[in-house]
Structure 1
Amino acid sequence: MTVALMWEARAADGRGGELLAWAREQRLPRPPVRRETFRAPQDRVLVITWWDADFDADLPELPEPDGDLATRAVHRWRFEAVDGE
């Protein structure tokens, strides 16, 4: 089964570049099958990691950003693949 973990944070005003750099520098204890990083308006950063694992497997996730880099707690979602290409 393929499981995708989504991590999304919103940077403090004017700190989108810092948050993006911080997210890109984060290393997980083991590598996912795939990892992509995105940015969006309002200084949002999204990281999606794909894993070959059961839906409820204990998988490493990115931490909360340091200090006042983000305006709120990180949003996290877990999805399982239903179609493969």
Structure 2
Amino acid sequence: MTVALMWEARAADGRGADLLEWAGAQELPERPLRSELFTAPGDRVLAITWWDADFDAPLPELPEPPADLLARPPHRWRFASVRTD
């Protein structure tokens, strides 16, 4: 099964580039099948990692960023792949 972990955070005003740099510098203890970083208006940063694992398997996630980079705590979601095209 392929599981995708999504992590999304909104940066403090003017700190979007810093939050993106922080997220990109994080090393996970295991290597995912794939990982990607995204940005969006409003200084938002999204990280997605894909894993070959059961849905409820313990998987490494991004840690909490430094509080001064954040406008609010990160949101985290877990999804299971049901189809690829």
TM-score range, shorter chain: over 0.9
Gaps of 5+ in 1: none
| Counterpart in the other structure of 1:70 | 70
Deviations 1:11-69 (A, max 9, x none): 00000000000000001001100000000000000000000000000000001111311
Amino acid at match of 1:21: E
| Counterpart in the other structure of 1:39 | 39
Gaps of 5+ in 2: none
Amino acid at match of 2:14: G
Count of residues paired in the alignment: 85
Q: TM-score, normalised by structure 2?
A: 0.97
Q: TM-score, normalised by structure 1?
A: 0.97
Q: CA RMSD in A?
A: 0.7
Question: Which aligned runs of 4 or more in structure 1 are off by greater than 6 angstroms?
Answer: none
Give the SS at the match of 1:35: strand
